[in-house]
Every structure is written in structure tokens, then in C-alpha cells.
Structure 1
Amino acid sequence: MYRNATDFVQDWKNSSKGTLDVFQSITDEKLSQSIVEGHSSLGWLAWHLTTAAAMFGGLAGLQIDGVSADDQAPDTIKEIMDSYKKVAVSIEKNAIENFKDEDMLTEVDGLGGKVPRGQLLRILIDHQTHHRGQMTVLLRQAGLGVPPIMGPTQEMK
């Protein structure tokens, strides 16, 4: 849980950069790559991370530009990346302008009830990390490069 607004902003910058690095490894031809038929694809996961970030930001009390949960997924990774960038910048900018340390303890409506804002923002970042991990498996399965998010990858050896 975040108790310091600056810590969230710094973590968000790092997390959103890592997410964009994963997105940059995806090609349009591999957007439909999934572990097995009917499971989450690279394209679905990328769009889910985009809309979920906007949703979490909104729950935390931020005005988020870029997408809404009702928007249809774009057909290209470039369009997904452009939307994600708008959301990521919007979260960063609005958090810097609007959050003070004491705001991290304010209770907000989360997915299952009231939670401290700092906890909801931690869930946002953990959610991204979880799905990025899934995406790295799919990148390898698709024969695409895996970017170094938290350290060197096998491809770098």
C-alpha cells in the first residue's frame, strides 16, 4: 500500500514503461496469440491493461483521458499503445497534480468495497505486473523477443 504519493508516481512511471516495452514486442500478426484456443491473447491482454488502468485510475479519483471500459479493442498494436500511453500519462500527470500523501489513506470505492486509495493504486501496479508476466510467456510462444523489464532475459544471454 502506498502512503506516499511520490512513491506511487515513481512506481507508476517504471511500471507503465515496462508495460509499453512489452507492447512494443508485439506484432499485429501475433495479437491473437494465446496459450491455447479460447484463452487470453496478447491483444486482449494489452487492451485489458489499457482499459483496466483507466478504470483503476478513475476509482482512485483521477480524471483519466484515453479510453473507457466500453471502448472496442483496436485492430493494431500501435493503436493499443497510443491509447495506453494516453492513459499512463494521464494517471501520472493527475496523480502529481492532485494527490498528497494524506490522500493515500482516504477510503475510496474499490472493486469489493471501500479501500484506502494507496491500496487501490498498489493493486493497479500489481495487476499490470501479473498480466505482463502472462504476456512474456505468450511472446516466447509466438517467437517474439522478450524485453528486459526487471532484469536480463534469456534472449540477452
Structure 2
Amino acid sequence: MFRQMEDFVHVWERETAQTSKLLSYLSDESLSQKVAPDHFTLEKLGVHLSQAITFMMSSAGLDLAPLEEHDAYNANEIKALYEQTANGFVRVLQEQWNDEKLSETTTFFGSETTYGSILYLLLQHQTHHRGQMTVLMRQAGLTVPGMVGPSREEWAAMKG
């Protein structure tokens, strides 16, 4: 749970930089990769990262503009959509919430929680989907950058 906006913003900026880095490794050819027939493709997961920011945080009471959605996205559009959404969200958050708000309790998707905990959940959700994406990226033959420490390729390069 976050108790100070400054702490959340610091973590958010670091984590969104990592997500942007991951998205920059996508290729248009990889976007149809999925783990099973009824599961999200890399394209849908990438777009979902942006959709979830808007959906979750609007559900928590932030006044966020809905995303303009398309039927299909290329890799560059997914990254741009994410960066625009993530940066816009943090600006609105800083305008509409403060440290005191983070300790207040609310009902979020049927459970009592604090606003600071909702921000933590947003980060967890993003990390969860980044992990899914790294597996699909490997299946698609893409290089995967390190997210929490070096990737396999980065580790091998460090060992020389």
C-alpha cells in the first residue's frame, strides 16, 4: 500500500519505463503469438496494459478520459498508447488525489480497501501481464530484456 503520492510516482515512473522497454522489443510479426486458442495474443496483452490503467483507476474514482480503441494495433502503436496512457494517468492522479486520499477506504470491485492499496494493485496487475508477455515473446522468437535483473541473454553477455 502507498501512503505518499511521491512514493507511488517514483515507483510508477520506474515500472512504466520497464514496461515501455519491454514493449519496444515487440515486432509486428510477433503480435499474434498466444499461449492457447482462447487466450490473449501479445497484441491484446499490450493493449490491455493501457486499458487496465484507465478502467481500474476510473473505477477508483479518477476522472480519466476513455481510450480511443482500434480493431488492430501495430507494435509501435501499442507502445505509444501505453506511454500516453501511463503518463496521462499519473498527471491526473497528482491533480486529483493527495497523500490523505491514499489512506481513505473505499469499495473497489466488491472489496473494502484503501486508495493506496488500489495503486499497489495497479502495479501488481501490470507486472503480472509483463510476465505473461515475456513468455509469449520467447515463444515468438523475440529477445526479452531484463525486467527485474538481467534476462538470459543479458546474463550471458555479462559473463562474457
TM (norm. structure 2) is 0.87
Q: 1:73 Cα deviation (Å)?
A: 4.5
Matched residue type, 2:29:
E
- Structure with greater Cα Rg: 2
Unmatched 5+ stretches in structure 1: none
Tell me how far apart the structure 2 counterparts of residues 147 and 108 of structure 1 sit (CA, whole Å): 37
**Is 2:77 the partner of 1:82?**
no
C-alpha offsets along residues 96-131 of structure 1, whole Å, 9 cap, x if unaligned? 233221110223341224421111111100000001
Pick aligned residue for 2:117 from 85, 95, 119: 119
* TM superposition shift of 1:152: 0.6
User: Which ranges in structure 2 are unaligned for 5 or more consecutive residues?
Assistant: none
- Residue aligning to 1:16: 16
Partner Cα separation in structure 1 for residue 60 and residue 14 of structure 2: 19
- Paired residue for 1:139? 137
Give the Cα separation in 2 of the matches to 1:66 and 1:77.
21
Which residue in the other structure is 1:63 paired with? 63
- Using the alignment, how far apart are the partners of 1:112 and 1:32 within structure 2? 34
Do the aligned partners of residues 102 and 73 (structure 1) sit closer, same or farther apart at CA in structure 2, a change above 3 Å counting? Answer: farther
> TM-score if structure 1 supplies the norm length?
0.89
Mapped partners of 1:12, 1:65: distance in 2:
19
Find the counterpart in structure 1 of residue 126 from structure 2: 128
What is the Cα-based RMSD across aligned positions, in Å? 1.8
Does the residue aligned with 2:24 lie in a helix, a strand or coil?
A: helix
> Do 1:59 and 1:108's aligned partners in 2 also have CA atoms closer than 8 Å?
no
User: Aligned letter for 2:152?
Assistant: Q
Aligned pair count? 155
Give secondary structure in 2 for the equivalent of 1:32.
coil
Amino acid at match of 2:26: I
Identity of aligned residues (%): 35
